[in-house]
Amino acid sequence: MSRKVVSSIRGVVAVLTLNDAARRNALSRDMVRDFHAALDETAGARALVIAADGPAFCAGANIDDLRTGWMETADPALDPAVLFRRIDEDPRPVVCAVGGPAVGGGFELTLSSDIVVAAGKAWFALPELGHGVIPNTAVATLQRNVGFRRACEIVLTRRRIALDEAVAIGLVVRTVPAEELLDAATALAADIVATAPPGAIAAAKANLRGHAGTDWSRVLRSPVDVPKEEWQEGLDAFVERRSPDYSRFWDISASRTAHNYLSRCKTITGAPS
């Protein structure tokens, strides 16, 4: 079986390529495992470029894995959030080369990198809420890139962000023609490490992260904040190619909200329950 992430070396830069084009490079357990292996075997490289084979950068999490309880029983070695944290905290420069859709977990992968270079057919979206799940890494890492209110709008509306808007709001720092994408990303990574020492680069990244204040412990536990019945309905509907029916959950939520409000009022006033 071919690896879902393959590595190669270009001078001092390691290129890690998502290699499951038939499934639009969907982020699966196998891909997470192979990504860790690729990072291990390229530990001697001075910089990293993350690229993808095929027309899609990454179509998001593998639905089959999600439906079998991936969020509930996440092995750290197979947990996407652990992988994103590892990429985020890698002391080397990490450049994403995005030439197609970066959706859900694919979008989160770009947010875990330092710099994103993109080509004309790239776009970004976080559709998770419509499937009854949350983009648990993006809720932390998106707002440090675009600010709280814009992050709320992107997560809640789940709309597609075209490349020109991605540049305007700071998700992408440079656009190039598609045929130049990998060369441009690799050259950028090589330029960074050519004239700066590793300790200074690592310190700059660590302090940038520290000031951004991402709480990774919360990121790792946040998937279980979503009621299981909601994500089961959302993911089942996606696979069955129908619209999800969330109406019963809204009814339950309204009843629960009213009960919690009354309980708080009684606590404040000292009234008997």
> Mind telling me the catalytic residues?
128
Q: Sheet containing 101-103: which strands, arranged edge to edge?
A: 101-103, 123-125, 161-162
Contacts of residue 199, Cβ cutoff 8 Å, sequence gap at least 6? none
In angstroms, the CA 258 to CA 260 distance is 5
β-pairing verdict for 161-162 and 123-125: antiparallel
3-state SS, residue 140: helix
3-state SS, residue 251: helix
Residue closest to 236 by CA, chosen among 85, 133, 136, 105: 133
The answer to whether the CB of 193 falls within 8 A of the CB of 47 is: yes
The answer to whether the CB of 145 falls within 8 A of the CB of 171 is: yes
